[in-house]
Amino acid sequence: MTTPAAPTRPQRLWDISPLVSTQSPIFPGDEAYSLRWTARLSPECPVNLSALTMSPHVGAHADAPLHYANGAASAAEVDLAAYLGPCRVIHAIDCGPLIRIEHLQHAAADLPARVLVRCCERADTQWNPEFSAFAPETVAWLAAQGVQLIGLDTPSVDPASSKSLDSHQQLLALNLRVLENLVLDEVAEGDYELIALPLKLAGACASPVRAVLREL
């Protein structure tokens, strides 16, 4: 008679997506989240139905190359492989305006193809233009280590005041994918599985994601 196998413990999940609401911080001039009801449950109607209006950059999102290059791939056209698989979270809390190579080198041995950087002790819940972004040379350095996707817990890989978007242009030149507006407040440094698939939105410059990390 064989002994029954012990039940396996479920792998822990970390939800690294902020709540999307009318209070979500957005870039000035961007389209805020709004919801309206087109039908309500009643004796005459069997369901509730809602309609949404929002920029695809509200909350956790994946920029498509179309966001920073005319004629480049839209959210519906990006390869999904970069958004799913082994990932490393690296802490660079209070690193200042730019994430530089030296902020990441302490955790750079044998990097997986996905790297998320925690810049904030607590992710901002109101618009703050003084957020940390990537130095373009850091993006290039990560690509040289074999990284295919980078992400961070602030609104953009470039500073809010940037007009040249140098780090976005590095993403384009090096064929990297990016996740922005993550929430890494409760995530320790280390290796995880990332799951953050963009929606198949035709012609869109970005897509919301429900980003999660799973214990390896």
The residues, any chain, with a CB within 8 Å of residue 94's CB and separated by 6 or more, are 119, 121
Which of 66, 112, 73 is closest to 90 using CA atoms? Answer: 112
Q: What is the largest CA-CA distance in the chain?
A: 71
Active site residue 91: no
Catalytic one of 67, 91, 103, 168: 67
Nearest-5° Cα angle at 13, 175 to 52: 70
3-state secondary structure of 174: helix
Residue 172: exposure state from Cβ atoms within 10 A (0-12, 13-18, ≥19): middle
Per the listing, tokens 């780090």 go with 167
The CA-to-CA distance between both ends of the chain, in Å, stands at: 32
Which of 46, 54, 184 is closest to 119 using CA atoms? Answer: 184
Q: Are 132 and 92 in contact (CB under 8 A)?
A: yes
Catalytically active residues, by annotation: 67
